[in-house]
A and B are shown apart, each in its own frame.
Chain A
Amino acid sequence: MLRTPAAIAGAALVTLMLVLAVIGPPIWGEAAARVDAGAILQGSSAAHPLGTDNLGRDLLARVLVASRYSLQLAIAAALIGAIAGIVLGALPSVLPLRAGRLVTGTVNALVAFPGLLLAMFTAVVAGLGARGAVLGIGAAIAPGFARLTQTLAASVARADYVAAARMLRVPRRRILARHVLPNIAEPLILNLTQALGGALLGLAGMSFLGLGVQPPDYDWGRLLFDGFGRIYIHPEVALGPAAAIALAGIGFNLLGDALARHAARTPAPSRAAEPRPRPVPDTEPEPGAVLDAAGLTVTFPGGVTPVREVSLTVRPGEIVGLVGESGSGKSLTAAAVGGLVPYPGTVHHERLRLCGEDMAGLSRERLGTSLAMVFQDPMASLNPALKIGGQLAEVAVVHQNATRDEARRRAVDRLGHVGLPEPGKQAGRHPHQLSGGMRQRAVIAMGLMGNPKLIIADEPTTALDVTVQRQILRLLRDVVDESGAGALFISHDIAVVGELCDRVVVMYAGRVVEELPVDRLAKDAAHPYTQALIASLPDMDTDRSLPLASIPGRQPAPAEVGFGCAFAPRCPLATARCTTDRPPLEPHGHDHRVACWEVS
């Protein structure tokens, strides 16, 4: 948890403050109270590093001693605020509907007002002094807590596991105690740390304005109030309390941040250097292919290699399906081909060519116009702030030196081409005004703005209904047939791949395990994984009297892949050799390659 310097600093500052609060008064209490008529209102000196006050009392000692009272008041205010807030926030789920709404409405109204305003209001009513200030700061903290409790409780109450408990007729009290409270406690406790810091600063502010602690008591804010009046003559007398307040505030905030980050559990990846993958035996480059990739490997720090030595070719006019289950590395393979692997992933390859040219050497313009990409969620792949037409026209303006008018005309033309009705009108619309299927068409049209040579479609129909899926699949086929481009179609659904693609490449645990023409997939699939995948997928001809096939176990995560065949632990044909030696991807008849010792 204490991994960053900021977290360490925060913890150190808070610890220091707690220690001072405990040992401060017994050690320096006497010095802080000692009146010295001979040393009234002095500035900094050897005897009094921070000067003295109007009774000649040592200000350094007073700052150290005041830590206890400042902290006590802050704790009181934070607790008052937290308890009041949690009660207010929890009430709506206990009260009858109407009363609950009233409470929610009140909380929402209160949250809108700045805390200081609520604090001053309370201070007016409760009167000047520490009690009024503590109540006031408590009142300022409460609405935020109430709102947090409400949103947290509401999100838990909507969770499926609460719905399940309700169906089990679990009593409401028990749902609150066993499901809701444990799941909201952590963020609430976290917020309390931050509220404590806020209370401390708020109280200091109130005392500094003269609205909080009154003499003869003193906290840091009160000391600052006294010192501020003398700032023109002795600025240092304000320095001590100001520094104490600032450090305490910083300490609580840094610690709160660190705790929040710890709760969110975002582990920092280790930065172990990666060995370069060893070179793979060279395969023949394929002339004429739009995509020719060999030995494609993606690694992440810490020895995680989700894509291993993948070789792919896509010929003009061909749609190659890349199929695999979640975690097989198929999407990262597509990202690597498109040059979009996110940091800190690194891509190595023997060969990565687009239409015979090394992709690394291609210009922005060439890549931007000859690669087209389509992603899974059409709701997310268009920029919500820009009109459809503008997003399409962009490529032509940026890469092809088209004028705005030309680009727009071409955009409208392409939109019409992918079957959007009234393309001129659609171009002037924002993405949210289109349905999912129409948006996916617009994304495909965007890819057609340049001269696409390779279309990379990553699960483009997974988020769509079957009837819309069918239309988009047809459109992709039409586009490929017409433009002569090749396409790489990534999907988890082998039936969809079977319907659309010419060739299928099956991935398992980061590697290609089989590659064959689609029309032979059902009959000739040789790899036990491919066979199991086909057998476990029910289709409209599946025999209903037999149980469905399923594969025991699970796919290994990228970090767990060992020496042998990654599928061996789940494979019915596996022998001792499979667990120690990895089978290479080797030809298995015409246009068919398999990586399996038992079939080749």
Chain B
Amino acid sequence: MRRTLIRRLIRFGVSLAVLVLAAFAMIHLIPGDPVRASLGPAAPVELVEARRAALGLDRPLPEQLVTYVSGLVTGDMGTSFLTGEPVTAVIAARLPNTLTLALLATAAALLAAVPLGMWAAVRTENGRNRGTEATFGGVTSAVVAVPEFLYAIALVAVFAIGLRLLPPAGQSGPESYLLPVLALALGPAAMLARIARVETLRVLGTDYVRLARAKRLPAARLHLRHVLPNTLTATLTLGGLLLGSLIAGSVLVEYVFAWPGLGGKIVEAITQKDYPVAQGVILVYGAVVLLVNLLVDVVLGVLDPTSAIKES
């Protein structure tokens, strides 16, 4: 257990280092002069030179890397080309909104998907109720296939513009969370439900469930005590990975709902060529994803002793 934890931490550290390097390299990989590209061809040479000097782009590369990394350690990620605000402040103001959205959506997806997938598995075990199986498969497959920004647009069109029930954009009261969370959770919920069904079917086919059936346990006890706990490891692992992907995947939904999170900011930064902000936001997105994956592994290692054994 302890050995796996240490190995996992090392992996996290290496990934984080690679991420920092990539973020640093991003500015330098941009063909031509990023400052010139950002300020436009009409900007005077002196201004461009001054900006380059301010960014430290005129110094040797290793020195820039050292400056960049030590800046990160002290929480300095540079300032926005557009507004002059510190990037750290921009991110600090917006990251919580993005995290809240992703967490709520993941929770919603798990709560809907696990019971649905289990129900479908129990109903379709060994190929009974082929109709249910085909419907479940077809519907979830279709729901997974529609991207979240289309759900977002459709929800806005129906509930905000058509029925005028809910706010179309922005973050105001609790009701303003409803549509973005729904748009973000629908696809993942369908995917998780499929996985929960497959996992449940796997567990239903094991000898220990056969043995539990031979003991003539009531259905509720059989499913809740013998089946559910054994499906959770796989489902929760994926749920954790999902949370990671939703944090960054919320960009489009945030854009549709003008949500004051990181998503809107990064789109603006990329289109306006505000490179320090783009660099900072991508770095933070990546770091949060890595951190979430690490946490999921640790939590599962504590919850499920067999998975820890398997890895060692």
Whether the complex brings A and B within 8 Å at their CB atoms is answered: yes
The answer to whether A395 and B215 touch across the interface, beta carbons within 8 angstroms, is: yes
- Please tell me if A513 contacts chain B, counting CB pairs below 8 Å: no
Distance (Å) between the CB of A339 and the closest chain B CB?
8
Among the listed A211, A245, A371, A377, which residue makes an inter-chain contact with B214, where contact means beta carbons less than 8 Å apart?
Answer: A371
The answer to whether B144 and A253 touch across the interface, beta carbons within 8 angstroms, is: yes
Among the listed B15, B18, B270, B286, which residue makes an inter-chain contact with A117, where contact means beta carbons less than 8 Å apart?
Answer: B286
The answer to whether A386 and B147 touch across the interface, beta carbons within 8 angstroms, is: no
- Please tell me if A502 contacts chain B, counting CB pairs below 8 Å: no
Interface string of B82-93 (1 = CB under 8 A from A): 000000000000
A: number of interface residues (CB 8 Å): 78
Q: Report the nearest B residue to A370, measured CB to CB.
A: B216
Q: How far is the CA of A5 from the CA of B142 in the complex (A)?
A: 12
The answer to whether A344 and B141 touch across the interface, beta carbons within 8 angstroms, is: no
**A343-B127, A364-B218 as given contacts; A235 in contact with B149, CB under 8 Å:** no
Docked complex: A228-285 residues within 8 A CB-CB of B: 228, 231-232, 235, 238-239, 242, 245-246, 249-254, 257, 268-269
The answer to whether B145 and A253 touch across the interface, beta carbons within 8 angstroms, is: yes
Query: Across the interface, which residues of B come within 8 angstroms of A254, CB to CB?
Result: 138, 141-142, 145
The answer to whether A205 and B26 touch across the interface, beta carbons within 8 angstroms, is: no
Among the listed A231, A373, A375, A376, which residue makes an inter-chain contact with B161, where contact means beta carbons less than 8 Å apart?
Answer: A231
Q: How far is the CA of A193 from the CA of B207 in the complex (A)?
A: 36
Q: Interface on chain B toward A: helix, strand, loop, or mixed SS? A: helix
The answer to whether B153 and A228 touch across the interface, beta carbons within 8 angstroms, is: yes
Distance (Å) between the CB of B297 and the closest chain A CB?
11
Distance (Å) between the CB of B12 and the closest chain A CB?
10
Among the listed A113, A380, A383, which residue makes an inter-chain contact with B289, where contact means beta carbons less than 8 Å apart?
Answer: A113
Among the listed A6, A231, A380, A430, which residue makes an inter-chain contact with B138, where contact means beta carbons less than 8 Å apart?
Answer: A6
Q: How far is the CA of A187 from the CA of B147 in the complex (A)?
A: 24
Distance (Å) between the CB of B230 and the closest chain A CB?
5
Q: How far is the CA of A373 from the CA of B286 in the complex (A)?
A: 51
Distance (Å) between the CB of B161 and the closest chain A CB?
6
Query: Across the interface, which residues of B come within 8 angstroms of A204, CB to CB?
Result: 147
The answer to whether A257 and B208 touch across the interface, beta carbons within 8 angstroms, is: no
- Please tell me if B178 contacts chain A, counting CB pairs below 8 Å: no
- Please tell me if A586 contacts chain B, counting CB pairs below 8 Å: no
- Please tell me if B256 contacts chain A, counting CB pairs below 8 Å: yes
Q: How far is the CA of A430 from the CA of B145 in the complex (A)?
A: 41
- Please tell me if B8 contacts chain A, counting CB pairs below 8 Å: no
Query: Across the interface, which residues of B come within 8 angstroms of A340, CB to CB?
Result: 210, 213-214
Of the candidate stretches A120-128, A160-168, A517-525, the one touching chain B is A120-128
The answer to whether A208 and B138 touch across the interface, beta carbons within 8 angstroms, is: no
The answer to whether B270 and A128 touch across the interface, beta carbons within 8 angstroms, is: yes
- Please tell me if B76 contacts chain A, counting CB pairs below 8 Å: no
Query: Across the interface, which residues of B come within 8 angstroms of A210, CB to CB?
Result: 267, 271
Docked complex: A1-18 residues within 8 A CB-CB of B: 4-6, 9
Q: Report the nearest B residue to A364, measured CB to CB.
A: B216
Among the listed A109, A211, A224, A373, which residue makes an inter-chain contact with B271, where contact means beta carbons less than 8 Å apart?
Answer: A211
Among the listed A117, A375, A395, which residue makes an inter-chain contact with B282, where contact means beta carbons less than 8 Å apart?
Answer: A117
Among the listed A211, A250, A368, which residue makes an inter-chain contact with B270, where contact means beta carbons less than 8 Å apart?
Answer: A211
Query: Across the interface, which residues of B come within 8 angstroms of A386, CB to CB?
Result: 225-226, 229
| B149, B162, B218, most chain A CB atoms within 10 A | B149
Q: Interface on chain A toward B: helix, strand, loop, or mixed SS? A: helix
Q: How far is the CA of A254 from the CA of B144 in the complex (A)?
A: 10
- Please tell me if B109 contacts chain A, counting CB pairs below 8 Å: no
The answer to whether B270 and A205 touch across the interface, beta carbons within 8 angstroms, is: no
The answer to whether B270 and A125 touch across the interface, beta carbons within 8 angstroms, is: no
Interface string of B120-149 (1 = CB under 8 A from A): 000001111010001001100110111101
Q: Report the nearest B residue to A377, measured CB to CB.
A: B207
- Please tell me if B312 contacts chain A, counting CB pairs below 8 Å: no
Docked complex: A361-387 residues within 8 A CB-CB of B: 364-365, 367-368, 371-373, 375-377, 380-386
The answer to whether B252 and A383 touch across the interface, beta carbons within 8 angstroms, is: no
| Interface size range on B against A | 35 or more
**A121-B26, A268-B130, A367-B216 as given contacts; A432 in contact with B150, CB under 8 Å:** no
The answer to whether A381 and B207 touch across the interface, beta carbons within 8 angstroms, is: yes
- Please tell me if A443 contacts chain B, counting CB pairs below 8 Å: yes
Q: How far is the CA of A233 from the CA of B249 in the complex (A)?
A: 28
Among the listed B162, B216, B252, B304, which residue makes an inter-chain contact with A208, where contact means beta carbons less than 8 Å apart?
Answer: B252
- Please tell me if B176 contacts chain A, counting CB pairs below 8 Å: no
Q: How far is the CA of A443 from the CA of B208 in the complex (A)?
A: 10
- Please tell me if B41 contacts chain A, counting CB pairs below 8 Å: no
Distance (Å) between the CB of A32 and the closest chain B CB?
22
**A250-B146, A394-B217 as given contacts; A342 in contact with B211, CB under 8 Å:** no
Q: Report the nearest A residue to B28, measured CB to CB.
A: A125
Docked complex: A105-160 residues within 8 A CB-CB of B: 105-106, 109, 112-117, 120-121, 123-125, 127-128
Q: How far is the CA of A209 from the CA of B270 in the complex (A)?
A: 10
The answer to whether A365 and B128 touch across the interface, beta carbons within 8 angstroms, is: no
Q: How far is the CA of A446 from the CA of B161 in the complex (A)?
A: 62
| B153, B271, B290, most chain A CB atoms within 10 A | B153
Docked complex: B260-290 residues within 8 A CB-CB of A: 266-267, 270-271, 275, 278, 282, 285-286, 289-290
Q: How far is the CA of A236 from the CA of B244 in the complex (A)?
A: 34
The answer to whether A398 and B244 touch across the interface, beta carbons within 8 angstroms, is: no
Distance (Å) between the CB of B270 and the closest chain A CB?
6
Query: Across the interface, which residues of B come within 8 angstroms of A113, CB to CB?
Result: 248, 286, 289
- Please tell me if A404 contacts chain B, counting CB pairs below 8 Å: no
The answer to whether B22 and A121 touch across the interface, beta carbons within 8 angstroms, is: yes
**A124-B278, A377-B207 as given contacts; A252 in contact with B127, CB under 8 Å:** no
List residues of chain B with CB under 8 Å of any chain A CB.
14-15, 18, 22, 26, 29-31, 125-128, 130, 134, 137-138, 141-142, 144-147, 149-150, 153-154, 156-157, 161-162, 168, 206-218, 221, 225-226, 229-230, 244-245, 247-249, 251-252, 255-256, 266-267, 270-271, 275, 278, 282, 285-286, 289-290, 293, 304-306, 309
Given A9-B138, A116-B252, A384-B306, 16 extra CB contacts under 8 A = A112-B15, A115-B245, A125-B30, A128-B270, A205-B149, A210-B267, A231-B156, A250-B141, A253-B141, A254-B138, A365-B216, A371-B216, A375-B207, A376-B207, A384-B208, A394-B225
What 3 A-B pairs are tightest by C-beta distance, nearest first? Answer: A368-B216, A6-B138, A253-B145
A-B contact pairs, 14 of them (CB 8 A): A105-B14, A109-B15, A114-B244, A116-B249, A120-B251, A120-B266, A123-B270, A124-B275, A269-B127, A380-B208, A384-B230, A394-B225, A398-B215, A398-B217
